[in-house]
Amino acid sequence: MTDDSESPPPPNVPGIDTTVPHSARIWNYWLGGKDHYVVDREAGDQFAVIYPGIFDLARLSRYFLGRVVRYLAGEAGIRQFLDIGTGLPTADNTHEVAQRVNPEARIVYVDNDPLILAHANALLVGDPRGATAYIEADLLDPETIIGEVRNTLDLNEPVALILMQVLGHVPNTGGDEQARSIVRTLMEALPAGSYLALNESTNTNELNAKATALYNESGATPYYLRDPEQIVGLFEGLELVEPGIVPIQQWRPDPNPFGDPPEVGVWGGIGRKL
């Protein structure tokens, strides 16, 4: 947790409602960042009272992103990344990890939050041999995203689509068709050899499910937990990269001298478009 005396408030940005908790700011708080308000810290702490493991969940999800991007930029040879729902910048953002592997990597971030837009300059600082851009757009409008991304990425060449903890804001009713349609629309616009990388919180952790239900009553944008089978379904038609869709701490873990990380109820993986 952060202390108000050590963490100055984020800048005043028009369009930000500081009376309602916001998922990106709460997530930033759980990661130990400073870009959040009192209402976000209160919501984050209420969640943590029920599910203290949320701090581990946020951290392990960030580590998963790093491993995924290293694999894609390295072993898979991907030079272009489309990161939707990127959230507030913190350590080891997608462009930083990708450009450490390949300085010529090109990255486009997409989000629709005004506070994140205010931090765009931080996101845009990348290796000049590559490119880093920011698009203000909504995940629910994938056609607009694809139209805008063409200004930075060459859609005749493979692209890695990154969706980390963002599809949880899409309702998972009706066979999860809305989320599946979003993923399908985005992947159909990308050429063969492209990849989908995502992770999502599941309903397999009882305390997380209880805390999420309370969070959804706070006035913040609801988060919908999925079962593992629904997450697997988001990769329909793609060739899964080993070890498949698994709890994220099991996906190609780095050596850990402190033992196995805790089970946090988040599943994810990578799939390749044939």
Between CA 97 and CA 77 the distance in angstroms is: 14
Q: What is the pTM of this model?
A: 0.91
In three-state secondary structure terms, 80 is strand
- pLDDT tier for residue 3 given thresholds of 50, 70 and 90: very low
Tens digits of residue pLDDT in 69-126: 999 999 999 999 999 998 888 878 999 999 999 999 999 999 987 777 777 766 678 8
Between CA 25 and CA 143 the distance in angstroms is: 27
pLDDT of residue 13: 56
CATH architecture of 23-254+261-272: 3-Layer(aba) Sandwich (3.40)
Residues in CB range of 95: below 8 A, 6 or more apart:
81, 105, 107, 109, 123, 126, 130, 132
Tell me, rounded to whole angstroms, the distance of Cα 132 from its chain centroid.
17
Residues in CB range of 255: below 8 A, 6 or more apart:
none
Q: Which residues of 79-112 are buried (b: 16+ CB within 10 A; e: fewer)?
A: bbbbbbbbbbbbeebbbbbbbebbeebbbbbbbe
Q: What is the DSSP string of 1-64?
A: ---TTTSPPPPP-TT--TTS--HHHHHHHHTT-S---HHHHHHHHHHHHH-TTHHHHHHHHHHH
- 10 pLDDT exceeds 70? no
Tens digits of residue pLDDT in 209-256: 999 999 998 777 899 999 999 999 999 999 999 999 999 999 999 988
